[in-house]
């Protein structure tokens, strides 16, 4: 394989173990495997997360949940994103949990369950400030009561999302709003299911955010925006090979648009990979890759299926391995390094790695 992704499953399992040491013993773990498990491969990542001790798995789309069921993964599966009504029957058929952010969705789901004479399960989204999905705090108690009265439907969770978990003031305000919601339910003598709000950064920065369960995604794969190093290990490496080596004279340009002009003679290697393979064009003339343990700069605009790199002074040959994300020798380039250069997040860098790229899994 010329272009491939290698995934260290032991690193994922180890990262989960680190979070287990941080959280309270009774706190449940929801392993987030949305977006093809942040580019790591849905089924294999989900399986190792489940067998390493997660209590629940969570995905963004119903298609991901069905794929896990087809792969015979029997964990409880929460769909955290939107599900269109035409797919509500799959929630019941595949024994899934649906996130709902309004009464109508819960009602329609219960109607589908009643048609099949079965029970549906749902987890309610509370909007504590994201202004995306969810029931507003001031309406929650009233709508919650109506949801509890639905036939053939059971509330199994209540959750919310932090706007910025590392903004201490804002995070505490959102926690306060969630606590107010729960207090109102207690005052109304309502039963309260599993409550979850914290994701990777909130878990590391604010133990108060744990409630009954935590949702870990980014952290399972070795990344966090939390400044303190807690020992997380990136699990993914993205690799290709040198397909051509050429000499470029002083004054010649490289690639589309003449975005790079050689100021001196250069030895250039061509890589058979580009932005169609998930490597952002925004990294043109900015990022570096690793060749023979040394950093080589990208020269010129990244193409749809090719990248040119400066290997002047580097001993390399056709077919040699090139690391775009990962380690080589004593040096490394990780997704968060690329994210800074591309003015984005490491989550996007990883999530946009295409599912069609072959993945090799290792349990070292």
| Among 146, 250, 256, 340, the one annotated catalytic | 256
88 given a catalytic annotation: no
Nearest Cα neighbor of 81 from 62, 102, 108, 106 is 62
256 given a catalytic annotation: yes
| Among 28, 34, 241, 260, the one annotated catalytic | 34
Residues noted as catalytic: 34, 256
């Amino acid at each position: 394989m010329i272009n491939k992704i290698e995934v260290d499953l032991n690193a994922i399992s180890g990262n989960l173990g680190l979070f287990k040491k941080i959280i309270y013993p009774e706190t449940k773990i929801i392993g987030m495997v949305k977006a093809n498990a942040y580019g790591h491969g849905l089924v294999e990542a989900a399986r190792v997360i489940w067998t390493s001790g997660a209590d629940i798995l969570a995905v963004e789309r119903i298609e991901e949940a069905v794929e896990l069921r087809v792969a015979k993964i029997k964990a409880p599966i929460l769909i955290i994103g939107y599900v269109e009504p035409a797919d509500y029957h799959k929630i019941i058929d595949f024994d899934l949990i649906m996130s709902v952010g309004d009464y109508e969705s819960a009602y329609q789901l219960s109607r589908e369950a009643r048609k099949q004479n079965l029970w549906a399960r749902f987890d309610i989204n509370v909007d504590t400030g994201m202004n995306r999905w969810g029931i507003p705090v001031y309406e929650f108690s009233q709508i919650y009561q109506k949801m509890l009265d639905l036939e053939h439907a059971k509330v199994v969770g209540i959750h919310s999302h932090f706007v910025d978990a590392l903004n201490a003031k804002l995070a505490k305000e959102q926690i306060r709003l969630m606590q107010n919601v729960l207090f109102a339910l207690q005052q109304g003598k309502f039963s309260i299911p599993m409550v979850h709000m914290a994701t990777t950064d909130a878990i590391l920065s604010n133990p108060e955010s744990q409630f009954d369960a935590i949702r870990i995604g980014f952290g399972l794969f070795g990344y966090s925006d939390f400044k303190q190093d807690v020992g997380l290990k990136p699990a993914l490496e993205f690799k290709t090979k040198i397909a051509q080596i050429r000499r470029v004279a002083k004054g010649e340009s490289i690639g589309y648009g003449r975005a790079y002009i050689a100021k001196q003679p250069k030895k250039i290697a061509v890589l058979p990979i580009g932005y169609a393979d998930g490597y952002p064009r925004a990294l043109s003339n900015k990022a570096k890759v690793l060749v023979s343990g040394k950093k080589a700069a990208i020269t010129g605009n990244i193409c749809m299926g090719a990248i040119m790199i400066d290997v002047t002074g580097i001993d390399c040959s056709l077919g040699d391995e090139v690391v775009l994300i990962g380690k080589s020798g004593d040096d490394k380039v990780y997704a968060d390094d690329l994210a800074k250069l591309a003015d984005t997040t490491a989550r996007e860098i990883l999530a946009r790695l295409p599912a069609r790229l072959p993945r090799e899994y290792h349990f070292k």
